[in-house]
Structures are given as structure tokens and as C-alpha cells.
DNA sequence: CATGAATGATACGGAGCCGAAACGGTTCCG
DNA sequence: CGGAACCGTTTCGGCTCCGTATCATTCATG
């Protein structure tokens, strides 16, 4: 059986999670950066700039810049593809995995606190 | 019984919803703006700049600017409090209610598509 | 090889948000 | 009254992101 969520619960979940993230002093990411990060950590590799741009429906520079930013935060890393040196493969990092994991835990916690 | 969500499901839900929002060409809001908007629509009124700033843990100018932006999008409206003219009361709009409602539906839809 | 296609990175001008500080209007209270 | 406290707004300089266009490198193809 699929996850059943009423609209009011969905909105409350999003609000509570967003509030927790805004109030926390973690590195803050834009919605696009978050979508990219989650895609890297949830979708099967390999991940390329082009692939991510298509997945998000945005231009390549958006991905490059997001990777610059998140790379500086050590949330992702870039490696030249040795088989086709035009490609850049984006990989996970320990810090990034921890960040994503912690975020998932926040959502789960807020979901449990939801009123029925 | 509370909503039970596994971390992997929570992350997938967030990813799918974020992707849908990024890909859609709806007016795009920052995480803070989204938190403010949801708070206005979910928490009981009255809402003031000061109150929202405290709730979010941010400074007052952040709220003022967010209200400027979302006001221009007609997602919220401002009215001077006639009882205490120092206050500004933030109210909902028809457009804002539609926006929030639509967003809730997206989350619900993504939740239903979630793998077990 | 030479040429064209594909990849990711970069340059540029513009727009939006940020925090800190200062400002004008309103109310409270001695 | 008159000053202090409170409220929301504005200003300022700085930073980040945006989209478009262009670039260098690498690969595929004839």
C-alpha cells in the first residue's frame, strides 16, 4: 500500500521541515542545489553535468555552478571520466552522505510529529 | 497512529517534489519564502512581521523583503492594524491559497508514487 | 587527418537576497 | 507632555545566483 498523506499533512510536513532547516545553521542550499544533491544521492550513477541538467530541466551552467558551490562545501566531488575525457563524473562524499542522511532523519521526525 | 516514513522514502519524496517544482515554471520561491508562506497559511492568525521573524529565527528585514516579493506575486497582502497602528497584519489572498493548495497536491501525489 | 559534434567551464551584465545599521511613525508610561 | 520602547521599513555594501553566449578540450566520422 502506498504512502497516504492528506494535503494538510503534506503542507504541515513541508512547513515543519523547512522551518527546521531555516532555523538550523547548516550550510543552506537553494531548491535547485537540493534537487541536484538528492538526485546524485538517490538516482543510480553515473552522474554527468549534462545528465543532471536534463533531469532538472535547467541549463548546464546552472549545474556547473551548483557543483562549484557544493564542491566547496565538500558535499560532492568531480572526477574526469577516463573513458571519455569530455565527461565529468559527479560522485558522493562522506560529508555529503552525512548531510543527506541527516536531512532524511529530520523529515522522518517531522512526519511522526504530524497531527492526524 | 502517526505517519510512518522511512528515511529513504522521505528523501525520495523531497527529491521528487523538488524536481517537480524546479521543472515547473511556477513563480519560484526561496526556502525562506516558502517557510513564511506556509506559516501564514497554516498557523493561526494574526501574523505580524515580528512574529514571523521570531518563528523563522531571522531578522525583520528578511520578512519585509519576502513580503515585498510575495506581495508583488499577489501571494500575500499587508494591512495596517487599526488597533495598534505600529503593526502590520499579513493576510492570505486567493492566489496564495491556490498556490499553497496546488503545492500540497503535488506532495500528496509524489507520496503516493513512492516505492515501498 | 580534418571537420563537426559534444562536453563542461567561463565571461558578462543583470537581478535578488543577505546582515547590519539607521530611520520615521506609533504607543506606552512616568 | 516628553522620553523610552516598539514596530516595520529603508539604506548600504557585498555576495550569489541567473541566462545567454562563448570558449577549450575531446571524441566520432568521413
B115: pLDDT strictly greater than 90: no
Q: For residue B6, how many other CB atoms are within 10 A of its CB?
A: 14
Is A41 domain-assigned?
yes
pLDDT band at A12 (very low <50, low <70, confident <90, very high): very high
Residue A52 parent element (H or E): helix A49-56
CATH (domain of B67): 1.10.10.10
CA distance B68 to chain A (A): 19
Quick: pLDDT tens for A53-70.
999 999 999 999 999 999
Name which of A38, A98, A36 is nearest A68 in CA terms. A36
The answer to whether residue B68 is domain-embedded is yes
Gap from A84 CA to D28 C1', Å:
12
Q: Is B35 part of a structural domain of the chain?
A: yes
What mean pLDDT do residues A19-39 have?
Answer: 91
- Asked if strand C contacts B30 at the CB level, meaning under 7 A, the answer is yes
The confidence score (pLDDT) of residue A67 equals 97
The length of chain A is 116
Query: Does residue A104 lie in a domain region?
Result: yes
Residue A26 is predicted with a pLDDT of 77
Domain count, chain A: 1
At A112, the pLDDT band (50, 70, 90 cuts) reads: very high
d(CA B95, CA B101): 10
| Domain contains A67 | yes
Domain that holds residue A107: 7-112
Residue B16 lies in a domain: no
Instruction: Go through B14-46 and write b for each residue having 16 or more CB atoms within 10 A of its CB, e for each that does not.
Output: bbbbbbbbbeeeeeebebbbbbbbbbbbeeeee
Q: Which of A80, A82, A88, A96 is nearest to A39 (CA)?
A: A96
Whether A56 and A62 have beta carbons less than 8 Å apart is answered as yes
Give the model confidence (pLDDT) of B77-90 as tens digits: 999 999 999 999 99
Tell me if A15 is assigned to some domain.
yes
Query: What cell numbers appear for B35 in the block?
Result: 517557510
What's the CA A87/C1' C3 distance, rounded, in angstroms? 21
| Of the candidates A74, A54, A72, A62, the residue with the CA atom closest to the CA atom of residue A33 | A62
d(CA A5, CA A3): 6
Amino acid at each position: 500500500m502506498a504512502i497516504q498523506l492528506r494535503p494538510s499533512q503534506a503542507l504541515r510536513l513541508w512547513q515543519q521541515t523547512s522551518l527546521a532547516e531555516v532555523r538550523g545553521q547548516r550550510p543552506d542550499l537553494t531548491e535547485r542545489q537540493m534537487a541536484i544533491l538528492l538526485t546524485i544521492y538517490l538516482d543510480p550513477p553515473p552522474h554527468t553535468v549534462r545528465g543532471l541538467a536534463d533531469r532538472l530541466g535547467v541549463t548546464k551552467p546552472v549545474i556547473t555552478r551548483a557543483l562549484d558551490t557544493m564542491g566547496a562545501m565538500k558535499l560532492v566531488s568531480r572526477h574526469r571520466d577516463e573513458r571519455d575525457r569530455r565527461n565529468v563524473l559527479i560522485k558522493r562524499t562522506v560529508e555529503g552522505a552525512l548531510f543527506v542522511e541527516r536531512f532524511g532523519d529530520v523529515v522522518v521526525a517531522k512526519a511522526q510529529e504530524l497531527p492526524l
